[in-house]
């Protein structure tokens, strides 16, 4: 199973202070060094985390492949055609949302989405549709020629209690095997973390997981001890240096 490391929230942290660090580019390269199979990033319409320049810089530097998440707008399509990522994941986008809520409604936007898939495919970019674990949406994705779907695991991640969680897991399992039977490549993501990923990673039809927020959050605590040691050392060295004058 492949891991797509979503680096959006490295950019969130950078933008909080308007600094140049932490650098999403550095994060992408480090993720590749430590096992990411691909790098995922979402260029949102409001540029709240990843910026246009990040996408270009990262694309040039990647050793693996780029999965660019984007909304169904002409501006984003032009961007993608310029950047030439290996994969584009088409997602619904609402300005006021905190994160991507729900999947694309392929059924009601068939003509528009089919146009995007075709334009991307003409440029050798593989399109993926981010959709809920809903059989009708999966069939519609197949009908309009999508090669790949990414199942939205947010409802599973947010489910309260064992019964609801089991129901959501069952939907994802059914959706995965239905999609595979149609010949679609099946990926999944959203809201996954070390506590809830195991049952999803056990679904053999799912080829790739895209994980961001929980990974970057975990990285803070895994890295904080080292960062504190480093800072203390620099401070102590500073004191030592004045002691000798
Ligand atoms: N997949 C898609 C299509 C997404 O939009 C996102 C969030 O940007 C993710 C995966 C990753 O979700 P999370 O940050 O919750 O791991």
**Owner of token pair 């070390």:** 194
Tell me if residue 101 is catalytic. Answer: no
Which tokens belong to 141? 């994705």
Q: What is the dihedral of CA 173, 178, 181, 187, to 10 degrees?
A: -60
pTM for the structure as a whole: 0.95
Indicate which residue's Cα is closest to atom 1 of ligand 1: 189
Work out the mean pLDDT of the chain and round it to a whole number: 97
Give me the catalytic one of 32, 69, 93, 205. 69
Reading the block at residue 151, the tokens are 């199942």
pLDDT of residue 101: 81
Q: Is the CB of 42 under 6 A from ligand 1?
A: yes
Decide if pLDDT at 107 tops 70: yes
Which residues are CB-contacts of 91 (< 8 A; sequence separation ≥ 6)? 42, 69, 70, 71, 100, 104, 130
Tell how far the Cα of 3 is from the centroid of ligand 1, in angstroms.
12
How do residues 157-183 score in pLDDT, each as one tens digit? 999 999 999 999 999 999 999 999 999
Mutational test site, ligand 1, from 5, 190, 191, max ligand atoms within 8 Å of CB: 190
C-beta of 8 in contact with ligand 1 (< 6 A): yes
pLDDT value at position 244?
60
The catalytic position among 152, 190, 205, 208 is 190
Active site annotation includes 170: no
Longest dimension (CA), the chain: 77
DSSP state letter for 106: T
Q: Are 103 and 130 in contact (CB under 8 A)?
A: yes
70 ligand 1 Cβ < 6 A: no
Q: Which ligand 1 atom minimizes the distance to the CA of 100?
A: 5
Indicate whether 245 pLDDT > 90.
no
Radius of gyration of the chain (CA): 20
9 part of the active site? no
Query: Which tens digits make up the pLDDT trace of 121-160?
Result: 999 999 999 999 999 999 999 999 999 999 999 999 999 9
């Amino acid at each position: 199973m492949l891991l797509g490391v979503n680096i959006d929230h490295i950019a969130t942290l950078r933008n909080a202070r308007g600094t140049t660090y932490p650098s999403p580019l550095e994060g992408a390269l480090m993720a590749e060094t430590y096992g990411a199979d691909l790098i995922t990033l979402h260029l949102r319409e409001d540029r709240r985390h990843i910026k246009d320049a990040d996408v270009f810089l990262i694309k040039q530097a990647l050793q693996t492949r780029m999965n660019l998440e984007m909304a169904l707008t002409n501006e984003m399509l032009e961007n993608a055609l310029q950047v030439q990522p290996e994969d584009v994941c088409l997602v619904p986008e609402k300005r006021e949302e905190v994160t991507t809520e729900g999947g694309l409604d392929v059924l009601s936007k068939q003509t528009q989405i089919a146009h995007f898939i075709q334009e991307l495919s003409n440029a050798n970019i593989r399109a993926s549709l981010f959709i809920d674990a809903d059989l009708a949406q999966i069939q519609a994705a197949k009908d309009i020629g999508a090669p790949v779907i990414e199942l939205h695991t947010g409802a599973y991640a947010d489910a309260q209690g064992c019964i609801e969680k089991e129901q959501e897991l069952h939907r994802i399992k059914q959706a995965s095997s239905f999609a595979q039977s149609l010949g679609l490549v099946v990926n999944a993501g959203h809201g996954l973390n070390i506590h809830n990923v195991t049952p999803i990673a056990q679904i053999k039809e799912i080829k790739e997981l895209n994980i961001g927020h929980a990974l970057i959050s975990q990285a803070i605590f895994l890295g904080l001890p080292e960062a504190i040691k480093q800072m203390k050392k620099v401070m102590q060295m500073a004191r030592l240096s004045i002691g000798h004058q």
